[in-house]
Chain A
């Protein structure tokens, strides 16, 4: 077999892993890799910022289920992907990142663009490698893909010094991986599954609480089947939007801080919670000691550390959600729970999700509802982080999992737009819409260049309220309406105290998103009235190129319901003053 350079080995390995697209940015200590990419079959997409490259890989991974890949240079290139790695780590996204590194001979000498990136990323990756010998490279790459995409998925970083990239050896790509210290367990313990089923059978008021694990293991059919068979209502986390059909009476919607009234009430009244692939995040549980006090907790998760980490678990089942549910399905008795469902229907009727629908104001929720309606929930929606994210989770009726892509655990602003570009590369035939706030969008909007140059055709809907809206909401509710540095139009000339900007006087064109879009060659559309929303969305969806829809929404709209941070789910606020 012919001998190759380390850089060539990397490219060959990526092709062997059937990597469709790689995002990244070159630099001095990655030059051999980029030289090897030149003229190779690898589809490399040049981002404008490494952070965005990482989020693109993430959006690709979340929307397709396949590992996302990015390549960056050493030092600042590598430190720029720390945020994407941490984002992916929190949300269990399979990502494989390659970074250039200074030559092994000078590691530790503070060489130009040197950073100890394996040290820096240790707490935010599932695993990372520094490859010191070209002979280890192929095996390491195989292991990186294996670790990233098996068990509880997560990001893996492979740091490759420039002399290893230049080093020469024969390419032997292992067919199989065997790591003695890493053997994920997929099959749940039959005894535990039996116990769980019998507790479910005895229960009166059970609730399914489903998270990312259901999406990762494609267990949505099994959840649907068991829930229907045994009449068990289902609530989902932010990351499991779309994993359960919205139109069944058993769907409770999202749980937690901005979850539905019915979901939060149901969890608090439940006698059994069946958590599947969810990790009892504090945004879901509220005050932990008051969470579902009367309930026995069954927890199905592939990650043993997730069990009893936050909430004490009665019946842990460590395994793959799909496999465990398949086995459980035969043991769960068919049952009608009419009293329980009646209670839930009453909660749903008492406080349905809603906003003021009968005025002429342009409410942001209305925009999401229209997008949901006009796309039939079949578009991939990515979000940034903030109010628009929560409204999207509440009002976008995603028809399937993997159609709602959002940074949950880390809450990374600047995630959504690059993630949308990545998602479009993975789903070229699907409509991909990035819903953004005007604050978040400005964190990575430079990537419009990538969308335009590659004819990516992504749509951006900016719910423009001239605020860092979510923080402003907290300031309004918990800090006496002291809007400290949340107004995006604030100038030195503004009064030092301002909690009600006057849109007719404030400089709203910072930037003018329509002109900005046009400067890239995208289509810019501005909507300032409710009556124009539907037409504008249709125009956006019909467009053959990328579009920025700048929607001037009600600036001080709040997300409700809301469970204030640190409060019990019982203390849910359905509106201000209520």
Chain B
């Protein structure tokens, strides 16, 4: 089971290391992790995706809360939230496949950000499923490289 956890932390050096050490020491696996400053420059938000059952999630949340530099932990388990990740996908381009590729790109509403003789880099944002679906859809063209960010997430307004 995948869980998305949003963690507000003090924007200080070493905090990321504390969090990753915690995960490593307790044997929790991080699927993805994204960090960035928030509206308050002294606070960073980390969006962490972990796999595990409820008891793992409970320990993860409690252990995160126990860290002195952690201000707040939000588990999006029972919360309506939106999440977005970004991927850059470098795809093979041939004259014979160009049209088909353009169509696929159009369907997913993605953008080409680099076009060369034999390849194109496509930028796609979306939740994890959409990014996965896109990568699957273009895999028949031949993927040269993929670079993905972890997802970032916010709970929806009420």
Interface residues of A (CB under 8 A from B): 118-119, 122-123, 126-127, 130, 147, 179-182, 303-305, 307-309
Contact = CB atoms under 8 A, between A and B. Distances in A.
Given A123-B21, A123-B25, 11 more contacts: A122-B17, A130-B14, A179-B68, A180-B71, A181-B68, A182-B68, A303-B66, A304-B62, A305-B65, A308-B55, A308-B59
Contacts of B65: 304-305
B70 interface: yes
Nearest to B22: A123
Interface in B1-31: 9-10, 14, 17-18, 21-22, 25
A181 B70 contact: yes
A147 B21 CA distance: 20
A123 B58 CA distance: 20
B69 interface: yes
Nearest to B62: A305
Given A181-B69, A304-B66, A309 B59 contact: yes
Contacts of A119: 17
Interface in B33-88: 55, 58-59, 62-63, 65-71
A307 B59 CA distance: 9
| A147, A180, A305 — most chain B CB neighbours (10 Å) | A305
B71 A181 contact: yes
A111 to B, nearest CB: 19
A147 B67 CA distance: 11
A305 B25 CA distance: 14
Contacts of A130: 14
A305 B68 contact: no
A340 B69 CA distance: 47
Nearest to A132: B13
A308 B21 contact: no
A308 B65 CA distance: 15
B21 A181 contact: no
Contact of B66 (A118, A123, A305, A308): A305
Contacts of A304: 62, 65-66
B68 A147 contact: yes
Contacts of B22: 123
22 contacts: A118-B14, A119-B17, A122-B17, A122-B21, A127-B68, A130-B14, A147-B68, A179-B68, A180-B71, A181-B68, A181-B70, A181-B71, A303-B66, A304-B62, A304-B65, A304-B66, A305-B59, A307-B62, A308-B55, A308-B58, A308-B59, A309-B59
Interface string B98-138: 00000000000000000000000000000000000000000
A305 B18 contact: no
Contacts of A181: 9-10, 67-71
Nearest to A127: B68
| A126, A147, A181 — most chain B CB neighbours (10 Å) | A181
A182 B59 CA distance: 18
A305 B63 contact: yes
Contacts of B66: 303-305
Contacts of B18: 122
* 9 A-B pairs closest in CB distance: A305-B62, A127-B68, A181-B71, A304-B62, A182-B68, A123-B25, A122-B21, A305-B66, A305-B63
Contacts of A305: 59, 62-63, 65-66
Nearest to B25: A123
A126 B68 contact: yes
